[in-house]
């Protein structure tokens, strides 16, 4: 056995094998063993010259599906492996998951092909005897497929397997939302996620973008919450689209595209985005003010600064000034009319899009992130001019990172008051308190939260 060396993740998946099953294995192994991000690797793989559309679709399906349904797949596999799935080496564990996903969750792939291709991978990536294990376990799955009864109870363990989410997340949502809504949320996270493209208003309208996409053979539909966004049908890497490379749009979820609307920037404003990379919200702000004003994009991570600058250049925004610095310590000589703190968070609202995140994070993230978020808000408060606006946003809907952070901030800063977002975003996502909360199971997109505060 000669196991291939790990591919260079800095190449964004472009060094992956052309065979979709082998490429999916390499991605899943990188996610498991090196905490790689599947989205980034898939995007790079999809942009390879000459990539076959069917192979691209199968690769996307195998990676995303195996990650979303890992809880169910592992439950089915574990009881059919005498040493247990955890004792199996990572390469073989992920070969089994890919094979099981094709057998149990897909109906258009011949089962013998799923087994045969998995056995070939086991010969290439496993130890002696691994191929026999893969062959016997997957054939047993085929024989017993119709007899499998997924756990259906409302207890945490059963719901965790049924909905394919870790125990700690299942427990939280079961207590907070109840069984019915928790199930709906899990299923929303397990649905295939469409690609959102936000039109660059400096180039044209959403309708004009849709027409340009048609010329590339890409169908789309308007977003329901954001007036700026189109949902693209099928597996299209944004970077491979001419409309994207020519600056007509940028990739963004519908919930993300609402945040700049909450900020409600006006022409000639001086605006600060304190956590700017990768630039989706920064460029949206510039577009909403017609590129007339000042938008300062602050980013702490040096490596992400270049990505931010490339996004700005591609979209042609002239009013954005990029600054490399830490939002908690960087000093600006002038105040700002509006400040956005799109803070780092647990990301529990985007686990449908980033399926690998649910298996990477633990409950400690909900105690680690609020102090960071509050520190950023505290620093931002001194940069807002009297009468100016401060917006706090996160891609989660957990109370510890949303309402509790805002309540704590307002208690520490009586010179700020909470202002309702009603009228700025659709009423469906406005809470009784006047904040924005987007829920995947209700709104059909990523989960998110935003609060708008004004300095007295």
The continuous run of DSSP H or E covering 393 comes out as strand 384-394
Q: What is the pLDDT of residue 237?
A: 81
Catalytic position from the list 275, 345, 395, 445: 395
What is the edge-to-edge ordering of all strands in the sheet holding 249-251? Answer: 220-222, 229-232, 195-199, 249-251
Q: What is the Cα–Cα distance from 199 to 209, expressed in whole angstroms?
A: 7
Mean pLDDT, residues 443-451:
97
Nearest to 23, CA basis, from 7, 34, 10: 7
Is 235's pLDDT higher than 80? Answer: no
Q: What is the pLDDT of residue 299?
A: 96
Q: What is the Cα–Cα distance from 405 to 417, expressed in whole angstroms?
A: 14
Confidence of residue 57 (pLDDT cuts 50, 70, 90): confident
Q: What is the Cα–Cα distance from 66 to 98, expressed in whole angstroms?
A: 6
Is 6's pLDDT higher than 90? Answer: no
Question: What token pair was written down for 62?
Answer: 């195998």
> What does the DSSP assignment read for 253-321?
-TTGGGHHHHH---TT-EEEESS-TT-HHHHHHHHHTTT-SEEEEEES-HHHHHHHHHHHHHHT-SSEE
Across the chain, mean pLDDT equals: 94
Residue that has been written with the tokens 């969750």 in this structure: 105
Confidence of residue 240 (pLDDT cuts 50, 70, 90): confident
For residue 405, with 0-12 CB atoms within 10 Å meaning exposed, 13-18 middle and 19 or more buried, which class applies? Answer: buried
| 193-227 tens-digit pLDDT | 889 999 999 999 999 999 999 999 999 999 999 99
Strands 436-438 vs 448-455: parallel, antiparallel or unpaired: antiparallel
Q: What is the pLDDT of residue 52?
A: 73
| 122-179 tens-digit pLDDT | 999 999 899 999 999 999 999 999 999 999 999 999 999 999 999 999 999 999 999 9
Q: Could you please state the CATH topology (level 3) that the domain comprising 195-251 is classified under.
A: Alpha-Beta Plaits (3.30.70)
The predicted model scores a pTM of 0.93
CA angle 424, 426, 427 (to 5 degrees): 105
Mean pLDDT, residues 14-42:
90
Q: What is the pLDDT of residue 3?
A: 55
Q: What is the pLDDT of residue 333?
A: 94
Return the domain boundaries, the chain: 9-147, 156-189, 195-251, 256-455
Q: What is the pLDDT of residue 47?
A: 64
Tally of CB atoms within 10 A around 267: 10
Question: What token pair was written down for 3?
Answer: 């196991």
Mean pLDDT, residues 264-279:
97
Across 79-210, the runs of DSSP E, i.e. the strands, are 195-199
Q: What is the pLDDT of residue 10?
A: 45
- CATH no., domain 256-455: 3.40.50.150
Question: What token pair was written down for 117?
Answer: 């291709």
Is 420's pLDDT higher than 70? Answer: yes
Mean pLDDT, residues 355-383:
96
Confidence of residue 414 (pLDDT cuts 50, 70, 90): very high
CA distances 168 to 32, 72, 294, 324, 358, Å, are 19, 16, 43, 36, 10
Residue that has been written with the tokens 């298996």 in this structure: 359
Nearest to 251, CA basis, from 194, 203, 197: 197
> Partners of 297 in the beta sheet?
273, 322
Confidence of residue 332 (pLDDT cuts 50, 70, 90): very high
CATH class of 9-147: mainly alpha
Strands 384-394 vs 336-342: parallel, antiparallel or unpaired: parallel
Confidence of residue 233 (pLDDT cuts 50, 70, 90): confident
Give yes or no: 249 in active site. no
């Amino acid at each position: 056995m000669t196991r291939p060396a790990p591919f260079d993740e800095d190449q964004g998946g472009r060094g992956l094998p052309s065979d979709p099953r082998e490429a999916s294995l390499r991605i899943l192994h990188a996610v498991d063993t090196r905490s790689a991000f599947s989205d980034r690797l898939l995007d790079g793989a999809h942009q390879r010259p000459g990539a076959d559309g069917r192979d691209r679709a199968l690769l996307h399906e195998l990676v995303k599906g195996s990650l979303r349904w890992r809880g169910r797949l592992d439950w089915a596999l574990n009881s059919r492996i005498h040493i247990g799935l955890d004792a199996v080496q990572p390469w073989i564990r992920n070969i089994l998951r890919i094979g099981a996903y094709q057998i149990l969750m897909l109906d258009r792939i011949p089962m013998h092909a799923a087994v045969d291709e998995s056995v070939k991978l086991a010969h290439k990536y496993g130890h002696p005897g691994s191929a026999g294990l893969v062959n016997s376990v997957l054939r047993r799955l085929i024989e017993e497929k119709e007899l499998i009864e997924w756990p259906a109870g409302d207890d945490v363990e059963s719901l965790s397997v049924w909905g394919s989410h870790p125990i700690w997340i299942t427990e939280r949502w079961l207590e907070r939302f109840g069984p019915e809504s928790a199930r709906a949320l899990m299923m929303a996270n397990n649905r295939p996620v469409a690609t959102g493209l936000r039109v660059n208003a400096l180039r044209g309208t959403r309708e004009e973008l849709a027409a340009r996409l048609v010329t590339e053979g890409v169908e789309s539909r308007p977003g329901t919450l954001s007036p700026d966004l189109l949902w693209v049908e099928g597996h299209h890497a944004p970077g491979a689209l001419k409309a994207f490379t020519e600056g007509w749009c940028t990739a963004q979820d519908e919930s993300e595209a609402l945040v700049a609307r909450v900020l409600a920037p006006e022409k000639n404003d001086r605006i600060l985005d304190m956590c700017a990379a990768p630039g989706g919200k920064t460029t949206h702000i510039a577009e909403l003010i017609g590129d007339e004003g000042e938008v300062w994009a602050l980013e702490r991570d040096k490596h992400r600064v270049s990505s931010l600058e490339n996004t700005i250049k591609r979209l042609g925004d002239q009013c954005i000034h990029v600054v490399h610095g830490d939002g908690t310590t960087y000093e600006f000589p002038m105040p700002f009319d509006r400040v956005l703190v799109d803070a780092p968070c647990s990301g529990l609202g985007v686990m449908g899009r980033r399926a690998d995140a649910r298996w990477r994070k633990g409950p400690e993230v909900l105690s680690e992130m609020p102090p960071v978020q509050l520190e950023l808000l505290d620093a931002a408060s001194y940069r807002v001019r009297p009468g100016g606006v401060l917006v706090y946003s996160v891609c989660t809907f957990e109370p510890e990172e949303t309402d509790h952070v805002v309540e704590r901030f307002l208690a520490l800063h009586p010179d700020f008051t909470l202002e309702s977002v009603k009228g700025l975003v659709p009423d469906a996502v406005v809470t009784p308190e006047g904040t924005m909360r987007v829920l995947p199971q209700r709104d059909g997109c990523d989960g998110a939260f935003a609060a708008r505060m004004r300095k007295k």
